[in-house]
Amino acid sequence: MTEPVGTGTARSARPSPRVAARQADARRRILQAARVVVAEQGFAAAQIAVVADMADVATGTIYRHFPSKASLFSEMLRAVCVRELEVVRAITGEPGRRATDRLGDAVATFVDRALRGEGLAYAVIVEPMDPEVDQVRLDARAELAAAFADLITEGVEAGEFPEQDAGVRGAAIVGAFLEGVVAPLAGRTAHAPDRDAVSTEIARFAQTGVAGTPPGTRPDIRAVPSPTGAEP
């Protein structure tokens, strides 16, 4: 990179308002372009040149705002994830409602939103691109899981849910609905993705899994032992 924007020394130590505004605008356009490119073409097609083109700036300009490609996409992705996380937390944290209901609504909402966002969701959830970017994805998953874990803990303490490992089940819920989102987008699943049906179904699954009464149970689930061979 050359110099981070805004390191003037002489005349104008601070960029003038007009310039600052233009810069801020360019930065916004670049992030926006990055998002659109990923949503439409996936990370695979997300080249700096393409983003620059769509944002109407030169490739070099991008490096005036972001130190590297990875950091540009990280930031874009982080913003997206933070937004989704906020939405989820807003629901899981709503006071005065049964944990069961909050759980169902949070899951359904997430899935619904993701299915609207189509491409972006797909890329964000599964397509990889670079360790730095992947880290953002992993962190986001962890935070989502934590949000649900918290909710589960609450539910257990309130006597609404049976005793369980909140951490593991929180993660399981996240996995369940992320996969639920990806499967339709990847064109699997029987019927065409019907947002409502899918989100409700997944939500019920999660709800039941956590809050439901276990089926009349033979007490021991066991991993059928089998060598995990390291053979060819």
Partner DNA sequence: GTCACACGTGAACCCTGGTTCAGTACTGAA
Partner DNA sequence: TTCAGTACTGAACCAGGGTTCACGTGTGAC
Interface residues with DNA (CB under 7 A) are 1-3, 5-12, 15-19, 22-23, 26, 46-49, 56-61, 63-64, 68-70
Q: Which of 19, 53, 87, 93: binder of its own copies (CB under 8 A)?
A: 87
CB atoms within 10 A of CB 31: 19
Q: Least CB distance from residue 155 to its own copies, whole Å?
A: 10
Q: Which residues touch 191 (CB under 8 Å, ≥6 apart)?
A: 197
Q: Are 84 and 46 in contact (CB under 8 A)?
A: no
Convert residues 27-66 into a mask of x (bound to its own copies by CB under 8 A) and - (unbound). -x--xx--xx-------x----------------------
Q: Are 193 and 115 in contact (CB under 8 A)?
A: yes
11 or 222: CB nearest DNA: 11
Rule CB under 8 A: say whether 92 interacts with its own copies: no
102 binds, options its own copies, DNA, none, Cβ within 5 to 8 A by partner type: none
Q: Least CB distance from residue 151 to DNA, whole Å?
A: 39
Rule CB under 8 A: say whether 104 interacts with its own copies: yes
Q: Are 74 and 82 in contact (CB under 8 A)?
A: no
Look up residue 88 and give its amino acid.
Answer: V
Residues 155-174 close enough to bind its own copies by CB under 8 A = 160, 164-165, 167-169, 171-174
Q: Are 165 and 209 in contact (CB under 8 A)?
A: no
Q: Measuring CA to CA, how many Å separate 108 from each of 48, 114, 115, 181, 204?
A: 35, 10, 11, 11, 9
48 or 91: CB nearest DNA: 48
Q: Least CB distance from residue 93 to DNA, whole Å?
A: 38
Q: Are 88 and 56 in contact (CB under 8 A)?
A: no
Q: Which of 28, 25, 157 has the alpha carbon at shortest distance from 15?
A: 25
Rounded Cα distance between 144 and 132, Å, is: 19
Rule CB under 8 A: say whether 4 interacts with its own copies: no
Angle, CA of 184, 211 and 111, to the nearest 5°: 25
212 binds, options DNA, its own copies, none, Cβ within 5 to 8 A by partner type: its own copies
63 binds, options its own copies, DNA, none, Cβ within 5 to 8 A by partner type: DNA
Residues 212-231 close enough to bind its own copies by CB under 8 A = 212-215, 217-218, 221-224, 226, 228, 230
Residues 131-150 close enough to bind its own copies by CB under 8 A = 131, 134, 138, 141-142, 145
